[in-house]
Amino acid sequence: MSTKTLRTGGLSVRYEPRALLSLLGLLVIALAAAVVLIGSGDFPVAPGDVVATLLGGGTDVQRIAVMDLRLPRVLVALLVGAALGIGGAVFQAVSRNPLGSPDVIGFGQGSTVGALTVIVLFQGSATAAAGGAIVGGLLTGLVIYLLAWKRGVHGYRLVLIGIGAAAMLTAVINYLITKAQLVDAARATVWMTGSLEGRDMEQFWPLLGVSCVLLPLILGHGRALRMLEMGDDAAYALGVRVERTRIVLMAAAVLLVAVATAAAGPIVFVSLSAPQLARRLTRSPGPNLGASALMGTALLLVADWTATNAFGERRLPVGVVTGVIGGCYLLWLLVSERKAGRI
C-alpha cells in the first residue's frame, strides 16, 4: 500500500490515500443514511428539509418529527454501530482470526443472558435489563479470558473457547425463555431480536458517556494493537507490553459492546462483518479501527432503513435484517477461509 507524507512546518504526517478516501466515503455514506433515515416514516420529510431542520429551520411539525421523534433514535444507531464495529475490530485483531467477533465467541450471548435473567427471574424494568446486559457481558468476557489463558491467550484458543461458551449460553437463554411467564417471555423475545424502535435520549446519553471514554482509549492503543496482530513475540520485540495491552483492549471492547447491547439489544453480525469489509475497502494492514467504526455505523443505519421501509407497512427489527445479511456474509467468509486453507 503506497503512503504519502504531508509536511506542514516542522510537522510530518504519513497517510495512505486510499485509506483516507475510504474513511471520507464511509463518513459521507453514514451521514447521508442518517439524513434519509430521519426523513423516513409515516410523516416523510425530504432530505433538504431534514438538514434545514437540524440547522434550526423547518416548520413546527418538521421540528417535532425530526428533533423529538427521530433524531434520538438515529443518534443511538450511530453510537451502537460505531461501538459494534470497533469492538469487533479489536477482538479480530487480538485473536488474529476473522471469526473473533463478540457475537460469535459468546460475549453477545452473555449480555443476553444477563438481560433475560433480570427480565424473567426478577421482572425488572428496561433500565434494570440494560444493567443486566452490561454485567452479563463483562462476566462472560472475564470467564472466557480466564479459560483461554495458558501462558498467554492464543487467538484460536480464545475463539474455540468462545464458541463453546456461546453454545452453552444459548442453551441458558432457551431455558430462561421456557421458564418465563407469557408476558416476560414476550418482552424477552422482543429484546433478543435487537431493535432501535423506541430508542431515545435515555439510551443515548449513557452510551455517549461510555463511548467518550472507551473509544479514545482503544484508538490510542491502535499502534500496539497492530503490533499484536504480528504475534506476541514480534510485539514484545517492538516494545509492546503484550498481556497488559491485551487485557486493557479486551476489557474496553467487552464493555463497549455490552453497553451497545444494553442500548439496542443483541444486534448480530455487525461486529463480525464491519471490520472485514473495512479492511477490504481500505486495503490497509492493521485493525483499521476508524474505518471499522464508520463501517459499523453505515451498516446499521442502512439496515435500519431497510427494516423500516423495505417491507411495506410491516416494520421489522433491525436485528432481523443484520442477521440475514450477516449470516450470508459468514457463510461466504467460511468458504473463503476454507479455500485459502486457513480452516
Under CATH, which number does the domain 16-339 receive? 1.10.3470.10
Average pLDDT over residues 218-226: 86
Mean pLDDT of 272-282: 87
pLDDT at 221 over 90: no
Average pLDDT over every residue of 150-157: 69
Average pLDDT of the chain, as a whole number:
84
Return the pLDDT at 4: 57
Residue spans per domain, the chain: 16-339
What is the pLDDT, as a whole number, of residue 298? 93
Note the pLDDT of residue 186.
Answer: 82
Determine which of 4-8, 55-59, 172-176 has the lowest per-residue pLDDT on average.
4-8
- Residue 153's pLDDT is 66
Q: Which residues contact 106 (CB under 8 A, 6 or more apart)?
A: 140, 144, 162, 163, 164, 165, 166, 169
Q: pLDDT tens digits, residue range 169-204?
A: 999 998 988 888 888 888 888 888 888 888 888 889
Q: What is the per-residue pLDDT for 6?
A: 52
